[in-house]
Amino acid sequence: MRRVIVNTDAKNEADDQFAIVHALLSPTLDVRGLIPAHFGRHRGDRSMAESREEIDLLLRLMDRTGKVPVANGAAEPIPDESTPRDSAGARLIIEESREDGPLYVAFLGPLTDLASAILLDPAIVHRDVTVIWIGGVGYGGIDVAYPGPEFNLGNDIAAANVVFGSGITVWQVPSNVYSQVSVGYAELEEKIGGTSELADYLIRQLVEWNAAYHPEPIESRSLGDSPAISLMLFPRGGQFRTVPAPRFGREGHYLPGTGNPIRVVETVDVRFLLEDMFAKIRRFGRDKA
């Protein structure tokens, strides 16, 4: 089994929920903790608390309340590249990194809690830790969806610079890759609809989020956080290239950095990702019936 921590801005959009559920339903992933993350002040000043509430709701729907550790992350970005935001989430990452064997930490939002862990315990970069981050734009040019910083990056650019400059092992899934994991309402209804209260909630909250935040008619959604889970389950399902670690400018663009190697994900096996997740959600419903 792979030891795993999932750091998630769970209430930011409607895709983190699918990734969290997929991780928890995967028997080869030993989820050692969930860390609710902030997602800025775009919609209020309690985003981390909202992420915590969403994680707690998912655990109730899965009958796992109290069975999976949940450690709150920072409520704000780090103030600068030298100052951590100490939190239970950052401390959980440090503690798990000191255990024997590999540790995978999936970041579905900003890198605040990892940057804080590095600043609190710099030796973590020499341990067997692999960081999978959903964030940043593609390296081939400007992503028209992000005229400024990509969302996860923009919520803590200083943290991203700490992490990318540290030498820790990073697998980056940029926006041009994660945006390709699209699913339609019809597919969701046909594949998992009616199989459990959990499945119906996953679909409902996705449709409601689109209705609230997309003015144009839409009947699909990118499950952009899910590659972090599928890459832990099936690393060979991704195509990678190694690049020198960049720095990030204020507008989210790439600048020359330390040059230590990171791995950039260029494609993921979307068929495996979606079918594996849907099958596990259906099986969960059968087992509960």
Residue type (1 letter), 28:
T
Find out whether 19 and 8 touch, Cβ atoms under 8 Å. yes
Does residue 112 come out as left (phi exceeding 0), alpha (psi in the -120 to 50 range) or beta?
Answer: alpha
Task: State which residues of the chain have pLDDT below 50.
Answer: none
CA distance 276 to 280: 6
pLDDT at 144: 53
Give all strands (DSSP E) within the chain, no chain letters: 2-8, 29-36, 103-107, 129-134, 169-173, 182-184, 220-222, 238-244, 247-248, 254-255, 261-268
List Cα–Cα distances, 111 to 132, 135, 192, 224, in angstroms. Answer: 10, 9, 32, 16
For residue 271, the domain's CATH number is 3.90.245.10
Q: How many domains does the chain have?
A: 1
pLDDT value, residue 94: 98
pLDDT of residue 251: 87
Instruction: Tell me the whole-structure pTM to 2 decimals.
Output: 0.96
What is the per-residue pLDDT for 142?
Answer: 53
Q: Return d(Cα 130, Cα 156) in angstroms, integer.
A: 20
pLDDT of residue 143: 59
**C-beta separation of 68 from 24 below 8 A:** yes
pLDDT of residue 145: 59
**pLDDT tens string 101-110:** 999 999 999 9
Name the residue range of residue 48's domain: 2-288
Give the pair of three-digit tokens for residue 34: 């969930």
Q: What are 2's strand-pairing partners?
A: 29
